[in-house]
């Protein structure tokens, strides 16, 4: 993790480190949310050509990855 903090103290004791960790988490969640919020992820046909929706192929993997970090 890239951080400007060089405190080297316990991550749970340093507000800056906690802030950096939370910020990275929110960015991860936001990327996952944008995928599920995107209408294109639910498209099941292109003209007469049937395709499986991207979210069905994904099976929640993006959400799981975002939660696990
Ligand atoms: Zn720190």
Separation of 2 CA from ligand 1 center, angstroms? 11
Separation of 46 CA from ligand 1 center, angstroms? 50
Residue 1 has pLDDT above 70, yes or no: no
CB 41 within 8 A of CB 53: yes
Separation of 69 CA from ligand 1 center, angstroms? 19
Separation of 48 CA from ligand 1 center, angstroms? 56
**4-34 residue pLDDT tens:** 678 877 777 888 888 888 999 999 999 999 9
Separation of 13 CA from ligand 1 center, angstroms? 8
Domain ranges of the chain: 15-68
Indicate the SS3 state at residue 45.
Answer: strand
CB 25 within 8 A of CB 40: no
Burial call 9-41: b when 16+ CB within 10 Å, e when fewer: eeeeebeebeebbeeeeeebeeebeebeeeeeb
> pLDDT-derived band of residue 69, with 50, 70 and 90 as boundaries?
confident
């Amino acid at each position: 993790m890239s951080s400007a903090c060089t405190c080297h103290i316990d991550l749970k004791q340093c507000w800056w480190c906690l802030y950096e960790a939370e910020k990275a988490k929110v960015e991860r969640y936001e990327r996952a949310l944008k995928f599920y919020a995107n209408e294109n992820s639910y498209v099941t046909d292109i003209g007469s050509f049937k395709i499986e929706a991207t979210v069905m192929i994904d099976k929640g993997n993006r959400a799981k990855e975002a939660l696990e970090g």
